[in-house]
A and B are shown apart, each in its own frame.
Chain A
Amino acid sequence: MESRPDHWLFGEYRPPTGLYDEACAGPGELREHFRDVIEAFETLKPEGLKARSQEAQRLLRESGVTYSIYDDPQGPHRPWTLDLLPMVLTHAQWKTIETGLSQRAELLNRILIDLYGPQQLIKEKLLPAEFVFAHPGFILPCFPMNFPQNRPLVLYAADLARDRQGEPIVLSDRAQAPSGAGYALENRLVMSRVMPNLYREAQVQRMAMFFRAYRDTLASLAVHSKGEPRVVLHTPGPDNETYFEHAYLASYMGYTLVEGSDMTVRDSRVWLKTLEGLQPIDVILRRVDDSYCDPLELRSESLLGTPGLVQAVRRGRVAVANPLGSGLLENPALPVFLPQLCQALLGEELKMQSVPSWWCGRPDDCRYVLEHLEELFIRSIKPQAEKRLIRGDHLSAAEKASLIERIQQKPHLYVAQTPIELSTAPVLVGDRVEARRMSLRCFLVARQHGYFALPGGLTRVAGQADQRIVTNQTGGLSKDTWVIQAAEPEAPWVLPLTPARKQLLTRGGDDLPSRVAENLFWLGRYTERTESLARLLREAMWRLLDRESDFFPDRGLSHLLQTVTHYSTTYPGFVGSDAASKLAEPRNELMALLCDPGRIGGMRFNVHAVLRAARSVRDRLSDDTWRLMNSLEQMIATPGTLSDLLENAERLILLLAGFSGLSNESMSRGPSWRFIEIGRRLERALGMLTLLRLSFPAKLPEGAQPIRILLGVSDSWKTYRLRYGSTLQSDGVLDLTLVDESHPRSVGHQFVRLHELVSALPVKVQLPRRSTEERCLLEAQAALRLADVLALAPPAADQPPAPELDQLLSKLRGLLIALADGLSQSHFSHTLELPQQLVDYR
């Protein structure tokens, strides 16, 4: 293939020699199954390709597809990156992988059953006892486990590479809570949108069947349930690196996304804490490591689990997939024994080889490892005890000596592997392609008669050309994986799906866990708080620009800045001991309020709070809402000129207004919407009360026109002008912003809305009296309706208001706070009770 304009993309592609390249058999020698794809890409021309790449990245970013780094809540939720060039597998290549992995899954499943049961493999010395007892994945409280179904290993995943001959081999086995299938699905979705023609013509095997089978298998685990079983997806929470996937799969498969504290064990059953009370859970699809699932019997310090879960599992009252204890199969020593185990358990040859491995617990292996340390990768079977992977060739003399000593002391803890030269695949970099190392993660799900594989899987590519390993932690890249259908389609394997249970027609709420309700409530509060603070800051910046242009004098800027400090409670700010200098030169303080994430109550802090609340209810938000949240994240202000910041504030206000619009337009009026709305209304009422107090002070500073600002910040200018023209009149302003129930920004209006919303919340127990929340609202409404605006308002603009105004505002504020407490008592109370460990004694 020469470098011709129509081969602009691949003409120069030269994968490194000596490695297997997925697309090229030799320099300029394309493999047949990549030909169509590459041709299609070259037809696109650089501009077309660039546009599509951008489109793909935009789709991913807007759907919030992220891979985040654990323990770094401030850190970036890294966008997922997709390379448009798919990884292509021929039908024959795929058959080999599928057959090999199905056998392997079957084998691992049998091993799991044996090790948590008769342990015949140990008694017959097919596996050393250390394999079980020295590995942290063997969970004693789960022994013995009588698995009710014959394939307790529900989901199995394997990372694949190629050996020198190009044959696929297994790099590692994943048997606990494998991640990645959701990302593969999302990649496919994006590809089919960005490259619709190519995708259709390439005859790619579909993924939907796999997820249907997955769903079906999980439902079949619910042995006790008579109706539609309740399956939940158990996530460690928004800080987890693959949280996006948890939320994504939960909504795709129709499961409630739960955290450990959303569940409780009563009567040896697991229940979901919802607003409507406790609902029984039949199946838990877990994405939490098994040892963290129950602080009673497993790791006592875990906050991610549910106390009593192991007991519920033991009694067969709930099914967990994969079962607690399956982490044992991830012991890196396992590949050493698989060939003999396969013969013993299945009576077959092992079809797919693993990366060549040595277990130092065998004297011969240990000798070999110690003699060839520089050529090997070393792993500890206790992952927390050592670095994940020790490269023999990177060790200094001292490190090597120390490693040898550790191996000699406890040889059974060490496994050595031959470093594998991963194969390469072409990756788009700008308008050319580059060869990068790759590996493929495949997924299999248990069915009645065997394991069923997701056609293809998740291809991950190294982030740099010179990188020899593939990991997401250092910024990886992924590809959609295409398995081309056979030319002569063989009789399709018809999945023996159990007849679908008919879904009952419903309009009611889904299971809304109390924690989610609370987060929705705070989402509403924080968006409102952020929006009104943005309005205040915008006002301040306008006036500051005016003052600096020397065109207008102070015009009450100082009072406004002090209002900002009071409103956002960012003391000392503009009211502290050094207020005079800050008021004279307010830029730094304003900048800090806008951009400093550490300034509690500041703009950036509030935006983070919005995003945090949104992330923890990810599966409850519509795609559009989620896109909006992503734009919000990208708009987080960084220090710049005043006019940049002003523009930023403008956009932020529009965006947040868009959020209220969206939640009002596209969310059904169920409890989810209601809690956001209650949060928003409550916050707006509280904010208005604060502004009102600051706007009608006992002593008015020179030149300040706080009520003008009040009208501006509360977006009430228009209405006011329609009624009163341009004269500012205290009683008119007070009436409009405090009492007038027809004005959507007034305090009175918030009370009306809150009353409607609160009365419609589900009640667990019917009592013959009104709830605290309702009583607070009735009292507040009555107080406000009975108030006499003319008597309360200042008689003239430069005079103080009646002292009763301040009393009224305080009273209303107190009632709103009592309302918030009442809500939390009656609806979020589950979340208040954190489990704690009883002190041990000896």
Chain B
Amino acid sequence: MTAYIVTHTTRYRYSQPVSVCHNEAYLVPREFPRQQCRITQLQIDPAPAVRDAREDYFGNRVVYFAVQKSHTVLRVSATSEINVIPLEPFDMEASPPWESAAATIAADTELSAYRLDSPLIPTGSKWSEYARPSFPAGRPLLLAVQDLMGRIFADFKYDPGFTTLATPLADVLAHRRGVCQDFAHLGIACLRSFGLAARYVSGYILTEPPPGQERLVGADASHAWFAAYCPTFGWIDFDPTNDRLPTDQHLTVAWGRDYSDVPPLRGVILGGGSHDLEVSVDVRRV
């Protein structure tokens, strides 16, 4: 078991006072058999008048809060203690052929939300054409997904300046560049275009420091990858940005159909003029 402390801080600064803000935060990491998160301290400054936690449709922990007094800076900081159980090695060869997996998935209504188009992820021939080489007839599903992940890693350039949230996924495919969210969306679009179920995972990754150097605090950002559903194996994570299977260095916060289901923080403000944003994430092993 590996233990981490994650601190994720967001700060909005406004040119004019904001009288009210309504926000929703996906900052409290969820728990599942391979991950425990006993404590999350969510500090909001100025103190919100309303704060309400609930579980969303996908089982994520979402916090609604509203600041109702005039402010020019909003600071939201989440500090979580997380334990991760490393992924046991498993035999991808043993996974069922992708075609039969797709048939099983189609019959499972619990998976429907992850199989159909979602707000930011369309499906269709564009995506299946790109993914086709990874899906020869009869290949075990997980091997096919692993191959797809490798190809996305090799074909696409990591380019933070190229895309924004509004960039359609088709542009990412056409220009072969994007960031981790784009690559996760791309992998999901490919899998869904073959009738498979895939979900978007939002979280953090520990960036290993170069040997002999102090790791940089705050250099890490929030990260995203995808997970594929495989009958008998369950959900398996794949990180196309790093071309690796998350073992124990990926910390999950939330999952959904795509980014729009689980943005770290969203909000609507009244007033405020223009604003700027500063984000830092610090993932420390303890």
Contact = CB atoms under 8 A, between A and B. Distances in A.
A628 B59 CA distance: 58
Contact of A311 (B12, B22, B265): B22
B266 A838 contact: yes
A842 B165 contact: yes
Given A143-B57, A267-B68, A833-B19, A841 B272 contact: no
A134 to B, nearest CB: 5
Interface in B195-249: 222, 224
A808 interface: no
B268 A133 contact: no
Given A267-B50, A314-B54, A296 B179 contact: no
Interface string A801-842: 000000000000000000000000000000001111111111
Interface string B160-192: 000001000000000000011100000000000
Nearest to B271: A833
B270 interface: yes
B66 A266 contact: yes
B64 A838 contact: no
Contacts of A507: none
Interface stretch (B37-45, B109-117, B139-147, B151-159): B109-117
B22 A836 contact: no
Contacts of B263: 840
Contact of A296 (B50, B112, B222, B267): B267
B112 A264 contact: no
Contacts of A410: 117, 124
Interface string B255-285: 0000101011111111110010101000000
A410 B117 CA distance: 10
Contact of B277 (A297, A307, A841): A841
A92 interface: no
A840 B52 CA distance: 21
A133 B64 CA distance: 24
A409 B20 contact: no
A134 B112 CA distance: 9
Contact of B52 (A123, A266, A311, A835): A311
A266 B109 contact: no
A225 interface: no
A307 B22 contact: yes
B269 A267 contact: no
Interface residues of B, number: 45
B76 to A, nearest CB: 11
A381 to B, nearest CB: 12
B1 interface: no
A125 B24 contact: no
A140 B261 contact: yes
A409 B124 contact: yes
Contacts of A30: none
Interface string A261-299: 000111110000000000000000000000000011100
B270 A835 contact: yes
Contacts of A841: 10, 264-265, 277, 279
A547 interface: no
Contact of A133 (B112, B125, B181): B112
A224 interface: no
Nearest to B128: A409
Given A133-B116, A296-B22, A296-B24, A838 B275 contact: yes
B50 A838 contact: no
Interface residues of A, number: 38
A122 interface: yes
Contacts of B113: 129, 133
B56 interface: yes
A477 B278 CA distance: 58
A212 to B, nearest CB: 37
B49 interface: yes
A129 B112 contact: yes
A842 B263 CA distance: 7
A122 B50 contact: no
Contact of A835 (B266, B269, B275): B269
B125 A840 contact: no
A308 interface: yes
A308 B269 contact: no
Interface string B4-23: 00000010100000011111
B117 A134 contact: yes
A308 B20 CA distance: 11
Contact of B269 (A125, A412, A836): A836
A324 to B, nearest CB: 14
Interface string A311-335: 1001100000000000000000000
A837 B57 contact: no
A130 interface: yes
Contact of A130 (B19, B54, B112, B124): B112
Contacts of A836: 268-269, 272
A842 B20 contact: no
Contacts of B125: 409
A838 B268 contact: yes
A841 B271 CA distance: 20
B211 to A, nearest CB: 30
A307 B64 CA distance: 12
Contacts of A123: 109
Nearest to B55: A144
B117 A838 contact: no
A311 B20 CA distance: 15
A510 B272 CA distance: 31
B50 A840 contact: no
A266 B68 contact: yes
B52 A268 contact: yes
Contact of B20 (A143, A266, A295, A838): A266
A314 B259 CA distance: 23
Contacts of A838: 12, 21, 23, 265-269, 275, 277
Given A134-B117, A314-B54, A315-B52, A307 B268 contact: yes
Contacts of B265: 838, 841
5 contacts: A140-B56, A143-B57, A267-B68, A838-B267, A841-B279
Given A840-B266, A841-B277, 10 more contacts: A125-B109, A129-B113, A133-B116, A265-B22, A268-B50, A300-B266, A311-B22, A835-B269, A837-B268, A838-B12
CB-CB nearest 6 A-B residue pairs:
A129-B112, A307-B268, A838-B267, A308-B22, A129-B109, A833-B270
Interface of A: 122-123, 125, 129-130, 132-134, 140-141, 143, 264-268, 295-297, 300, 307-308, 311, 314-315, 409-410, 412, 833-842
